[in-house]
Amino acid sequence: MQLTNFVVGQWCAGAGTGQALRDPVLGTELARASSEGIDLAAALRYSREIGGPALRALSYAERAQLLTRIADVLTANRPAYVKIALENSGSPESDAAVDIDGSIYTLKFYARAAASLGAARYLQEGDAQSLSKDGAFQTSHLLLPLRGAAIFINAFNFPAWGLWEKAAPALLSGMPVLVKPATSTALLTWQMVQDVINAKVLPEGALSLICGSARDLVEHVSFDDVVAFTGSAATAARLRGTPAIVQHSTRLNVEADSLNLALLGPDATAGSDEFDLFVREVVREMTVKAGQKCTAIRRALVPAALQASVAEAIAARLAKVTVGNPRNAEVRMGPLVSKAQQQSVLDGLAQLRSQAQLVTPDPAQFRPIDADPAIAAFVPPALLQVADAHAASLVHEVEVFGPVATLMSYADEQDAFALARLGLGSLVASVFSADDAFTQRAVLELAGSHGRVLAVHSAVGKLQTGHGNAMPMCLHGGPGRAGGGEELGGLRALSLYHRRFAVQAGAERIAGLRAQAASVTY
Ligand code: NAP
What percentage of residues in the chain have a pLDDT greater than 70? 100
Atom of ligand 1 nearest to the CA of 341: 25
Helices 93-113, 161-173: inter-axial angle, 10-degree rounding: 10
Q: Judge whether residue 443 has pLDDT over 80.
A: yes
Indicate the average pLDDT of the chain: 97
Backbone φ and ψ of 255, nearest 5°? -115, 110
Say yes or no: CB of residue 180 within 6 Å of ligand 1.
yes
DSSP for 331-349 reads --B---S-HHHHHHHHHHH
User: What is the per-residue pLDDT across 62-71, written as a single tens digit (0 to 9) for each?
Assistant: 999 999 999 9
Q: Judge whether residue 404 has pLDDT over 90.
A: yes
- Looking at residue 521, its pLDDT comes to 81
**pLDDT band at residue 26 using 50, 70 and 90 as cut-offs:** very high
- Looking at residue 115, its pLDDT comes to 85
Q: In testing the pocket of ligand 1, which one of 22, 34, 235, 294 has its CB within 8 Å of the most ligand atoms? A: 235
Q: Judge whether residue 17 has pLDDT over 90.
A: yes
Say yes or no: CB of residue 214 within 6 Å of ligand 1.
yes
Which candidate, 148, 146, 294, 154, places its Cα nearest to that of 210?
Answer: 154
Say yes or no: CB of residue 182 within 6 Å of ligand 1.
yes
- Between 29-38, 306-315, 496-505, 513-522, the lowest mean confidence (pLDDT) is in 513-522
CA of 114 to the centre of ligand 1 (A): 30
**pLDDT band at residue 116 using 50, 70 and 90 as cut-offs:** confident
- Looking at residue 146, its pLDDT comes to 98
Confirm if 220 and 40 have CB atoms less than 8 A apart.
yes
Confirm if 14 and 38 have CB atoms less than 8 A apart.
yes
The answer to whether the Cα torsion of 308, 313, 316, 321 is positive or negative is negative
The upper half-sphere exposure of residue 340, i.e. CA atoms within 13 Å in the direction of its Cβ, equals: 8
- Looking at residue 518, its pLDDT comes to 97
Q: CA-CA distance, 120 to 60, in Å (whole number)?
A: 6
Q: What are the CA-CA distances from residue 192 to residues 175, 230, 341, 374, 513 (Å)?
A: 19, 19, 24, 32, 39
Say yes or no: CB of residue 173 within 6 Å of ligand 1.
no
Backbone φ and ψ of 17, nearest 5°? -85, -20
Sheet-wide strand order for 498-506: 498-506, 137-145, 123-130, 518-519
User: What is the per-residue pLDDT across 357-370, written as a single tens digit (0 to 9) for each?
Assistant: 999 999 999 999 99
User: What is the per-residue pLDDT across 131-152, written as a single tens digit (0 to 9) for each?
Assistant: 999 999 999 999 999 999 999 9
Confirm if 257 and 300 have CB atoms less than 8 A apart.
no
Atom of ligand 1 nearest to the CA of 213: 47
Q: Judge whether residue 460 has pLDDT over 90.
A: yes
- Looking at residue 317, its pLDDT comes to 98
Q: CA-CA distance, 291 to 157, in Å (whole number)?
A: 10
Classify residue 365 as exposed, middle or buried by CB count within 10 Å of its CB (0-12, 13-18, 19+): exposed
Q: CA-CA distance, 331 to 342, in Å (whole number)?
A: 19
CA of 155 to the centre of ligand 1 (A): 4
- Looking at residue 522, its pLDDT comes to 74
Q: In testing the pocket of ligand 1, which one of 44, 216, 230, 487 has its CB within 8 Å of the most ligand atoms? A: 230
